[in-house]
Amino acid sequence: MASDKISRVGVVGAGQMGGGIAEVCARAGADVLVYEATRELVAAGRARILRSLDRGVSSGKLTEREREDAAAKLRFTCDLGDFADRQLVCEAVIEDELVKIQTFADLDKVVTDPGAVLASNTSSIPIMKLGMATQDAGRVIGMHFFNPVPVLPLVELVTTLMTSNHVSARAEAFAHDVLGKQVVRSADRSGFVVNSLLVPYLLSAIRMAESGFATAEDIDKAMVLGCAHPMGPLKLTDLVGLDTVKAIADKMYEEFKEPLYAPPPLLLRMVEAGRLGKKAGHGFYRYTEAGAGKQG
């Protein structure tokens, strides 16, 4: 078995979450290989990570030298076959069960280290379903990061009935000792700890706006000023992405059949309309390049 210390990381998907995970791994000194399906997606993912590193410099979190060192640790590929030597792979593709299952089936064939950690950043899909797509479910675990990944210090670690103790210890050591994240452990239940609490709250806020109870701006203002939340629930829904919130709610509803997890019609209509939140420039608010959120 290879050395326990993880220094070679693979990240599948260079979107909002994958890009953030790749960035924090590179900033921690790991050699990071990022997969995206096309050259266009690679270019967009690379640009997003470099913008975030620039933001780290402009906010005094990183020196110019640290930004250059992190950027030099990042490589990109459109061939998952390049992941053969990875000791940890974090999957961060879209929140779609079939796409994730296929990704784990592919990773299982490619990654050669029998003690490698095959981690999913899923918010809501039971990790066991991904483990069973592989020949060795002992390698599969949930490592759930939070958006923006460079800022939020939590990783939820989700072990299944099959995850080996070695893999869970290796993943926890990497998240805590290398990335400097705080780790909480959750059972393998859709939504884990954070989304089991957060998603009903976000959906309640959407229902409140939908019923005309209060405006989006006032709902957000109320929670920021009344409860000291860093942002209100509708702005947070925009940040996470309405399609992602819907996908998580669907999975949690499928698992528990609780009405509080059922996505309200307004959320469904906005997703159908392409009003997916900040990444689309329009959700509960409108966004300019500068990222300002105006109601509309």
Given a contact cutoff of 8 angstroms between Cβ atoms, the answer to whether 49 and 27 are in contact is: no
The least CB distance from residue 220 to ligand 3HC, in Å, is 11
Of the ranges 2-10, 142-150, 211-219, 281-289, which one interacts with ligand 3HC (CB under 6 A)? 142-150
Region of 5-13, 26-34, 81-89, 149-157 interacting with ligand 3HC (CB under 6 A): 149-157
Rounded CA-CA distance 41/47 in Å is 10
**Tokens 């829904």 sit at which residue?**
237
The three-point CA angle 191-280-96 to 5° equals 35
Binding of residue 150 to ligand 3HC (CB under 6 A): yes
**173 CB-near residues (< 8 Å, 6+ apart):** 4, 6
Q: Does 146 bind ligand 3HC (CB under 6 A)?
A: yes
Count of other CB atoms within 10 angstroms of residue 296: 10
Contact call for residue 231 and ligand 3HC (CB under 6 A): yes
Can you say how many angstroms the Cα of residue 203 is from the centroid of all Cα atoms in its chain? Answer: 19
180 three-state secondary structure: coil
Considering only residues 167 to 206 of the shown chain, the ones binding ligand 3HC according to CB under 6 A are 195, 198
Catalytic residue among 120, 123, 164, 186: 123
Is 156 an active-site residue?
yes
Active site residue 164: no
Residue 147 is a binding residue for ligand 3HC (CB under 6 A): yes
Interacting residue with ligand 3HC among 13, 15, 45, 56 (CB under 6 A): 56
Which residues from 90-119 bind ligand 3HC, rule CB under 6 A?
none
Contact criterion met (CB below 8 Å) for 131 and 105: no
Sign of CA dihedral 132, 135, 136, 142: negative
**Any residues with CB less than 8 A from the CB of 29 and at least 6 apart, and which?**
7, 69, 73, 178
Of the residues 81, 114, 153, 230, which one makes contact with ligand 3HC according to CB under 6 A: 230
Positions in 262-291 near ligand 3HC (CB under 6 A): none
184 strand-pairing partners: 156
The one segment of 130-138, 143-151, 163-171, 281-289 that binds ligand 3HC by CB under 6 A: 143-151
Compare residues 93 and 116 and give the one whose CB is closer to ligand 3HC: 93
123 is catalytic: yes
Which range, of 4-12, 51-59, 129-137, 179-187, touches ligand 3HC by CB under 6 A? Answer: 51-59
Considering only CA atoms, give the Rg of the chain. Answer: 19
Pick between residue 4 and residue 96 the one whose CB is nearest to ligand 3HC: 96
For 29-164, where are the alpha helices, taking DSSP H only? 39-58, 64-72, 97-110, 127-131
Check residue 59 for interaction with ligand 3HC (CB under 6 A).
yes
Q: Give yes or no for a contact between 168 and 159, defined as CB atoms under 8 angstroms apart.
A: yes
- List residues near ligand 3HC by CB under 6 A: 52, 55-56, 59, 61, 123, 146-148, 150-152, 195, 198, 230-231, 236, 240
Catalytic residues: 123, 144, 156, 195
